[in-house]
Amino acid sequence: MLDFLARLLGRESPGSKDVAKERLRLVLVHDRADVSPQLLQLLKNDMVEVISKYMEIDEKGLDVTLERADNQVALVASIPVKKMKRVAHLA
């Protein structure tokens, strides 16, 4: 988690070893959670569609992953918000 924050804040440029390690970790989490990359992409697309109704988001900075801790799997989304949209009425 600290590595992610360091990269996010631009303090550290990840080397190819670190990038490969992170990709392998994500593949293993996906396999253990029994979620295909296609399903994760569909979830990401649906989240973008719903959230975009209320907020203007930066899709380039969007990051959706699965993380596993102990016997639990968490869907973790980092969604940069540019601004809130005006909503005429809430249903």
* End-to-end Cα distance, the chain: 37
Q: Is residue 9 assigned to a domain?
A: yes
Number of domains forming the structure of the chain? 1
Does some domain include residue 67?
yes
Is residue 23 assigned to a domain? yes
What is the C-alpha to C-alpha distance for residues 35 and 30, in angstroms, rounded to an integer? 5
* pLDDT beneath 70: ranges in the chain: 1-14, 25-34, 88-91
Q: Judge whether 60 lies within some domain.
A: yes
Q: Which of 44, 73, 75, 74 is nearest to 61 (CA)?
A: 44
CA–centroid distance for 9 within its chain: 16
Residues in the chain: 91
- Compute the distance between CA of residue 49 and CA of residue 68 in angstroms, rounded to an integer: 26
